[in-house]
Amino acid sequence: MEKKAKIIATLGPSIYGKNKLKKLMDLGVDAFRINFSHNTNGISKIVSRIRKIERSKNKKISLIADLQGVKLRVGKINNDSQKIKYNQKYIFDIKKELGNENRITLPYPKIINKLKKGNKILIDDGKFIFVVVKKLNKSIITVCKSQNCYIKSNKSVHIQNLDITFNKLTLKDKKDIKKAIKIGCNWIALSYIQNAKLIHETRKLIKKDMGIISKIENKHALRNITDIIKATDSIMIARGDLAIDIGHSEVPKVQLSLIKKCSQFSKSVIVATQMLESMIENNTATRAEINDIATAIFQGADTVMLSAEAAIGKFPTQAVSTMAQTIISTEKYKKDHIEDFKNSIISNKDPVKSVLLSVKDIAYNPNVKAIIVFSNSGKSAKLVSAMRPAAKILTISPNINVSRQVSLLWGVQSINSRDASDWKDMMSISKEIIKKLKFIKKNDYAIITAGLPFGKAGMTNMIRLYKVGS
């Protein structure tokens, strides 16, 4: 049984080798994430390696450029790490000097000015807590409230209940977008997005055949979530930073709510962060981690993601295998995909969406084994995937980048082929594809969707029900 939900693996030293990359693709990886918060020197070589394997396997692989965004970080510190005692006073300032056991640089004057007594400063993804006790002109004095606290160079900073808006791409992000385009990435992931403005700015800088993933990591994004979902192509529920901002106990209900809301607007959802965290060091997962993956699949997530488990973990192949097996096992007990989603999708007077919504009702028939979607832009593939049909979705596109992009979508098998020239040619291409499919037999049915005239993106207006062998 093939899985329908997709897997993203984060690129890193643990999986750079050719054999390891090939093995991960064999086990079920559908996309690789490039973390632009880290050094990406030499990444072009790794991408070339992936594309070579992709061609040999005839399996389309998505590449995701995950931008750093405006993630706050402390400066550098002496010896790269200093231990801070419990209840010890510690200074955060804007000095450009190397930090030590008494102070460190927080290079954001705007934030220093807004901090007040009682504000909590969380360091290193929330591991260590400092409470503001006094504010000075260009610095703040805090008290460490964590046992066994270590401040390390360039670690993340999160400040609870601090209302600061960031609406623009950083210079680094703009530079990284150019690099992402050059190496052939198919998706741009926006970090720490707060509203739709960042999406619109990014849209102007990327190619038309690239998608945008908006990472939901803070209260600002949740307050503007409808506008973000409408403007973006996909969202990622980045549960680590989100938990720090809204509290760990709030994340499960937010996850469910976001997946449901995205299904209404036919937008895909990636669930990320610490899905198999224990497998960074261990070759088996915990029962809680397995349940976490299964819950995301039951809720309707398109994709689940491995971060450090793949990038720097000791057991990346075991982690991917565990994730793939869990998806398959869960999907066996979630067969009625159409019923789960049939009443949730909003057409919003979109004629293409209205046409494709009728596919969902036809595909409910168990004799329909495949949905063949001719898609120049990928829009039709996204809409059909969002309907969660029981039939297999085969997306045909002449654009290799679109083929790679939609390969990340739930249930989609992406095929790169020439565009049909007319109705007769469309049927000829479809029949040739059907001949190669082992799961579809004579007298089974396939739904074929396309846009007339051919070659024009975003114009799906035709549905054909084809009986195999007729």
For residue 167, the one-letter residue type is: N
As a whole-number percent, the residues of the chain with pLDDT over 70 amount to: 92
Q: How far is CA 459 from its chain centroid?
A: 27
Res 344 pLDDT > 60: no
Condensed to tens digits (0 to 9), the pLDDT of residues 36-56 reads 988 889 999 999 999 999 999
**Separation of alpha carbons 393 and 4, rounded Å:** 10
Residue with tokens 């976490």: 292
Side-chain-side CA neighbours of 159 within 13 Å: the count stands at 23
Between 180 and 364, the more confident residue is: 180
**Separation of alpha carbons 121 and 161, rounded Å:** 10
**Separation of alpha carbons 310 and 24, rounded Å:** 10
Q: Would you state the pLDDT for residue 338?
A: 42
Give residue 349's pLDDT band: very low, low, confident or very high (50, 70, 90): low
**Separation of alpha carbons 262 and 268, rounded Å:** 7
**Separation of alpha carbons 325 and 290, rounded Å:** 10
Please report, for the chain, the start and end positions of each structural domain, with discontinuous segments joined by +.
Answer: 6-69+167-331, 72-159, 339-467
Helices (H), 235-315: 239-246, 251-264, 287-299, 308-311
Which DSSP letter does residue 168 get?
A: S
Q: Would you state the pLDDT for residue 129?
A: 95
| Residues linked to residue 412 through DSSP beta bridges, in sequence order | 393
Q: Is the Cα torsion angle 180, 19, 323, 439 positive or negative in sign?
A: positive
Res 2 pLDDT > 80: yes
The mean of the pLDDT values for the chain is 90
Contact 39, 63 (CB under 8 A): no
**Separation of alpha carbons 140 and 130, rounded Å:** 11
Q: Would you state the pLDDT for residue 104?
A: 97
Between 464 and 300, the more confident residue is: 300
Distance in Å from the first CA to the final CA of the chain = 28
**Separation of alpha carbons 36 and 177, rounded Å:** 10
Res 340 pLDDT > 60: no
CATH class of 339-467: alpha beta
Res 458 pLDDT > 60: no
Residue with tokens 């919504």: 357
In this predicted structure, which of 2-6, 118-122, 332-336, 370-374 has the lowest mean pLDDT?
Answer: 332-336
Superfamily classification of domain 6-69+167-331: Phosphoenolpyruvate-binding domains (3.20.20.60)
Q: Would you state the pLDDT for residue 347?
A: 56
> Who contacts 259 (Cβ-Cβ below 8 Å, separation ≥6)?
237, 269, 271, 299, 300, 301
Condensed to tens digits (0 to 9), the pLDDT of residues 102-132 reads 999 998 888 898 899 999 999 988 889 999 9
Q: Would you state the pLDDT for residue 337?
A: 45
**Separation of alpha carbons 368 and 391, rounded Å:** 6
**Separation of alpha carbons 66 and 116, rounded Å:** 32
**Separation of alpha carbons 224 and 197, rounded Å:** 11
What strands lie across the sheet with 460-467, from one edge to the other? 412-416, 392-397, 368-374, 445-451, 460-467
Condensed to tens digits (0 to 9), the pLDDT of residues 144-195 reads 999 999 999 988 898 877 777 777 899 999 999 999 999 999 999 999 999 9
Between 243 and 364, the more confident residue is: 243
Q: Would you state the pLDDT for residue 159?
A: 87
**Separation of alpha carbons 18 and 438, rounded Å:** 30
Helices (H), 206-284: 219-223, 225-231, 239-246, 251-264
b/e per residue 304-329 (b: at least 16 CB within 10 A): bbbbbbbbebebbbbbbbbbbebbbe
As a whole-number percent, the residues of the chain with pLDDT over 90 amount to: 65
What strands lie across the sheet with 103-105, from one edge to the other? 72-73, 156-159, 120-123, 128-135, 139-144, 89-93, 103-105
Q: What fold does the segment set 72-159 form as a domain? A: M1 Pyruvate Kinase; Domain 3 (2.40.33)
Condensed to tens digits (0 to 9), the pLDDT of residues 244-279 reads 889 999 999 999 999 999 988 989 999 999 999 999
For residue 69, the one-letter residue type is: G
